[in-house]
Amino acid sequence: MGEIDFYNTGYEAIASGLLAAFIAQFIKVITYLCTHKKINFKIFTTNGGMPSSHTAGVIALTTSVALIEGIDSLLFAVSLGFSLIVMQDASGVRRAAGKTAATLNRLVDEFVQKNQEVRPYAALKELLGHTPLEVFCGMILGIIVPFTVHYFTFIVSYFG
């Protein structure tokens, strides 16, 4: 068989990013099931945890752009810059905000225990960011998924 013209419309990049983020969230549900012996589908829609679905999604998108457009393209440079900002935010700012929320929740709990007249309050969400390991694992997932999608797409278009 000769050379094939493989035209990509961008659906591969979108599919890779969404699939990687979905797989990361699904891994969190499975991890929760294994550790707590019960299913909690709320985990599927939460931030934080192993692996970072934000990182998996943006790195998958960036890797897809690299596979489709090349690493010397402007689109890859923009995508990589976007991905690095998201990864830094996940492990930096959002993680710090989660630690701050945990500290405030602890202080409010202590205050409420000492002052019984205080109205009930809603605790702040603490699981917002990621550890560097969670971001790294999201990055690895975000590299593996688009390679799989790219070569599956190529094989289907070549033989299909």
Structure confidence at residue 152 as a pLDDT band (50, 70, 90):
confident
Structure confidence at residue 123 as a pLDDT band (50, 70, 90):
low
Please compute the mean of the pLDDT values over residues 34-51 and round it to a whole number.
80
CA nearest neighbour of 68 among 144, 17, 12, 21:
12
Give the Cα-Cα-Cα angle 140, 81, 60 (nearest 5 degrees).
Answer: 30
Greater model confidence, 130 or 73 = 73
**Which tens digits make up the pLDDT trace of 48-79?**
778 888 999 999 999 999 999 999 999 999 99
**Which tens digits make up the pLDDT trace of 11-32?**
889 999 999 999 999 998 898 8
Alpha helix positions (H), 92-131: 93-114
pLDDT at 118: 62
Domains of the chain by residue range: 11-89+131-159, 93-128
